[in-house]
Copies of this chain bind each other. A is one copy, B any other.
Amino acid sequence: MNTYWEDELAIEIIKTCDELERLVSGLKSDGKTIGVVPTMGALHEGHLSLARAAVSQTDIAIATIFLNPTQFAPNEDLTTYPEPIEADIAKLEDVGVPYLFAPSNDEMYPPGFSTSVVPPKISKRLEGEFRPTHFAGVATVVLKLLNLTQADIGFFGQKDFQQVMVIKRMIADLNVPTEIRVCPIVRESDGLALSSRNVYLSKKEREIALSLSRTLDHVEKQIRSGLRDGFEAITEMRQMLIDAGVDSIDYAILAHPNTLETNDPIELPVVALIAAFVGKTRLIDNRVIN
């Protein structure tokens, strides 16, 4: 049952898997292509760029908002993660998304639920070292959402660079009939990559957080100027972050963009990836240099 204000909306909010399956089955019979934009809510312009891509590149865009507990470790920020659902709905309506799937935990993980995905090997590196259960949670929920929406195209952001690689490999390995499209990182005018977690930052922390994109700017410039010594480049990246005042660095590396293996001496294309804490907030950013 929708509340009175939900009935007034131009976007239809779907809360159960059964309802979604009925909708999708009808759309498929009518030969419509479906684009899905999986999110955890707390939507910003990065998410909305994915939603706009889905609206323009497929017949029917379906956004999903599900704050998936299985991709958070017990010490992480699941309980404080921002959940402004009314604002999210208004934003999606605004960019012309016709359907939002916003299920409960029980709907996604009903009693007796016990199947999961062992994510591909590439999930073990980087994020996998610091968040060892994260990608199993991501892979399982993304597979569920792709199956539920029977999406022809799934839209994901390049900010989660490794996540995109994990999802692409899972889809290839399991022969999921969905194409993945990756949209560029959206940034504030000063360079800060948009993140739902940016709201955690104090004014001073936000200033420090800028060091991630500035470090990526700097290393890109150096590599474009001919720097090929990976160790030197990484050492400088770490130093810039520390000098700016980040509290700890999970990783600041240069890697091959298809394998995430160490790229030293640097060969193009290369991806620079950073994960660092500013206060209690964990931020990530990356840059592909072709």
Contact = CB atoms under 8 A, between A and B. Distances in A.
Interface in A157-203: 169-170, 173-177
Contacts of A119: 115
A118 B120 contact: no
A21 interface: yes
Contact of A116 (B24, B118, B148, B177): B118
29 contacts: A21-B177, A25-B177, A28-B28, A29-B31, A112-B120, A113-B173, A114-B121, A114-B173, A115-B117, A115-B118, A115-B119, A115-B120, A115-B139, A115-B174, A116-B117, A117-B117, A117-B118, A117-B174, A118-B118, A140-B174, A144-B173, A144-B174, A144-B175, A147-B174, A147-B175, A147-B176, A147-B177, A148-B175, A150-B177
Nearest to A31: B29
A175 B24 CA distance: 13
Contacts of A116: 117-118
Interface in A103-124: 112-122
Interface string A22-41: 00110011010000000000
Q: How many copies does the complex hold?
A: 2
Given A21-B175, A112-B121, 4 more contacts: A114-B120, A114-B122, A115-B117, A116-B118
A150 B17 CA distance: 19
Contacts of A176: 147
A101 to B, nearest CB: 11
A143 interface: yes
Contacts of A114: 120-122, 169, 173
A211 to B, nearest CB: 34
A29 to B, nearest CB: 7
B29 A115 contact: no
A249 B17 CA distance: 42
Interface string A225-256: 00000000000000000000000000000000
Pick the 8 closest A-B CB pairs, nearest first.
Answer: A115-B173, A114-B121, A147-B175, A114-B120, A116-B118, A148-B175, A115-B120, A115-B170
B115 A17 contact: no
Interface in A81-121: 112-121
A59 to B, nearest CB: 13
Nearest to A150: B177
Contacts of A113: 173
A169 B112 contact: yes
A173 B17 CA distance: 11
A24 B139 CA distance: 25
Contacts of A112: 120-121, 169
